Structure 1
Amino acid sequence: MMPVYVSGSWLLANRLAEPQLFDVWVVEKPNRVLSRIVALPGEELSIVAGELRIDGGYRDWKNLRYAYRIWCTEEVQLAADSYTPLYKNRIYTARLTPSKADSTASIPGVRKLKKLTHNKAYFPSVFPHDPDYPWSRDYFGPLVVPGAGEELTLTKYNYKLYIRLILDEGGQLHVDGHCLFINGQETDRYVVKKDYYWVMCDNRHAAVDSRNFGFVARDELTGKAIVLFE
């Protein structure tokens, strides 16, 4: 599992490491967070029913946590540190790993357990924060992670995916009707200057990650997490 950082904790991070798939890094975007690298430059990602897919294949691991709702046939006392009661100890919510969900389903008195997902719809908090991309935390993409030297073909729609990237790389982007202007020149091309990554937290329904703030540039990864002290 990815370490859980709480206020007052100390983190040992390696600033000299190079980003590798599945490593946990300190991410300086927009505020400092810990998150796991799940997609590399040039890879195409999508999320379907909460499951991460890279280049069409499934890419996730066992210890992810998802939000669940639990219905009981009678009042059942579930551990307060893991389960939140909603109604008279008969309905609970919890963030569980799939294996923990299976064991919860076998508790006497538990009638039904359902993994909660957001529908595919426009959520203002989800990248790129635009109604033209009706993506949610659980239904997202497809989207290719840009890499240094890649030439993007821009349209009046997809530029919304890259406007922050272009601005952060020092460019100026202006839209006039159907025409795009970068640094004062009309164009539909842009050559990416940096490598970018996609990060996601293991606690999939209680985190801020690339689903909120988008691509993470290499210089926004400031240290590989090694040890967390509480």
Structure 2
Amino acid sequence: MKKTAIVLLVTVALLFVLRQFVVVPYSVPYEGMEPTLGEGERVLVNKWGYGSSSSDKAKTVERGAIMVFHNPAEKPDVAIDDRAVFIARIYGLAGDTLMLNRQLVPVDVPPVDVHLKRVYHYPALCEERMLAIVDSLGIKDSFVGNGQSSHSRQFNYDEILKVRAAINRAFTLVCTSPDVPTNCYPYVVPKKGGVVPVTLWNITLLCNTINYHEGRKAVIKNGQLFVDGKLTKQYTFTQNYYWVMCDNMLNLNDSRLFGLVPESHLVGKVWMVYWKKIRTI
């Protein structure tokens, strides 16, 4: 009897340890991972090396892995372990640069070098308008040369986006080299200790990430980011982040909706499916 009790206690203890730190069952909460995983199907999730107890998550997260994580859009005062559980596939790792369109959907083009200066021609008759625009934007030393019918200036990625917005199609800018894409933008997935510049296209994402996951107060005023009341043109992040996507693109329970997923919110990697629905045609 005594031996039986000891065996039972050891078994219960092992099951507790396995569930808390190694493997835990989950039910797929929505249709976002179809056809790979269906809503309601049961999976086993490997927690080893993930979550708030792991000190080396960056080495264990793989691109393409199906991950379970806690809702990153929940209010910061709700404990991470008390939040709803989501599931999606890792698309961007900490330190990656992703090209995303206006709907934050990845676009299959090479990442843009945001520092590279490209030369643009525009009508000589528009020089006065162009000069007023670059002066108002604080762009320095952009003038390259002038011809009889056209003038030339050089701009980096951030500058050309601002200039084009200010011109508002009043005249045409022609790039002398392959132009930057106009339908997508480079987003840096933050890594621990990494510095991410604030830009026109990522300012909202960075503001939300800092507020929700960095424990600081961030606001946008007149198109500029302020963190704890100070103007911030670049930010150093304190943990790794990930960009996740659903296999079913019609489902928005991924980074298009809630932004970056911090490493502290990771539960684990889907290891195996132990109950799968019988699907009918």
- For the aligned pair, the TM-score class normalised by the smaller chain equals 0.5 to 0.7
State the superposition RMSD in angstroms.
Answer: 3.0
By how many angstroms is 1:207 displaced? 4.6
The answer for the alignment partner of 1:166 in structure 2 is: 210
Counterpart for residue 61 of structure 2: 19
1:42 aligns with 2:95: yes
2:192 to 141, 145, 148: 148
Distance (Å, rounded) in 2 between the aligned partners of 1:201 and 1:211: 10
Tell me by how many angstroms 1:33 deviates. 2.0
Cα distance change, pair 35–54 in 1 and its aligned pair in 2 (3 A): farther
State the partner residue of 1:6. 39
CA distance in 1, matches of 2:69, 2:42: 16
Which entry has the higher C-alpha Rg, 1 or 2? 2
1:53 partner SS = coil
Q: Give the whole-Å Cα distance in 2 for the aligned partners of 1:154 and 1:51.
A: 20
**Greater percentage in strand:** 1
Q: What amino acid sits opposite 1:193 in the alignment? A: T
Contiguous gaps of at least 5 residues in structure 2: 1-33, 50-59, 74-83, 113-182, 276-281
* Structure 1 Cα separation of the partners of residues 69 and 190 of structure 2: 17
Counterparts of 1:193 and 1:162, CA distance in 2 = 13
C-alpha separation between the residues in 1 aligned to 2:86 and 2:201?
Answer: 30
Distance 2:85 2:273 in 1: 15
1:199 maps onto 2:199 in alignment: no
- Whether the 8 Å contact between 1:2 and 1:202 is mirrored in structure 2 is yes
Rate the CA distance shift 1:11–1:164 in 2: closer, same or farther, 3 A. Answer: same
Moved over 4 A (4+): 54-57
Q: Is the 8 A contact 1:25 1:222 kept in 2?
A: yes
Supply the distance in 2 between the matched residues of 1:34 and 1:153 (Cα, whole angstroms): 29
Contact 1:45 1:53 in 2 (8 A): no
Rate the CA distance shift 1:151–1:47 in 2: closer, same or farther, 3 A.
closer
Q: 2:242 aligns to what SS in structure 1?
A: strand
Q: Give the CA deviation at 1:56.
A: 4.2
Deviations 1:44-96 (A, max 9, x none): 21257x77437449xxxxxxxxxxxxxxxxxxxxxxxxxxxxxxxxxxxxxxx
Kept after mapping to 1: 8 A contact 2:207/2:219 = no
Asked whether the equivalents of residues 154 and 190 of structure 1 are also in contact (C-alpha less than 8 Å), the reply is yes
Q: Rate the CA distance shift 1:11–1:140 in 2: closer, same or farther, 3 A.
A: farther
Distance in 2 (CA, whole Å) between partners of 1:155 and 1:4 is 36
Separation in structure 1 between the aligned mates of residue 260 and residue 109 of structure 2, nearest angstrom = 15
Choose which of 39, 48, 53 in structure 1 pairs with 2:108.
53
Shift of 1:195: 0.7
Does the aligned pair in 1 maintain the 2:209–2:259 contact within 8 Å? no
Could you report, residue by residue, the CA deviation over 1:123-168 in whole angstroms, capped at 9, with x for unpaired residues? xxxxxxxxxxxxxxxx754322111112222257642120121112
TM-score normalised over the length of structure 2 = 0.45
1:183 aligns with 2:263: no
- Aligned-partner Cα distance in 1 for 2:187–2:89: 18
Cα deviation per residue 1:4-55 (whole Å; 9 max; x = unaligned)?
1423x3321111142111111002224422211111112121257x774374
Q: Could you tell me the percent identity over the aligned residues?
A: 28
**Residue pair 2:242, 2:262 contacting (<8 A) in 1 also:** yes
SS in 2 for 1:174: strand
Q: Could you tell me the TM-score, scaled by structure 1's length? A: 0.54
* C-alpha spacing 1:13/1:174, structure 2 compared with 1 (3 Å): same
Q: Which runs of 5+ in 1 are unaligned?
A: 58-138
- Give the corresponding residue for 1:126: none
Q: Distance in 2 between matches of 1:34 and 1:178?
A: 33
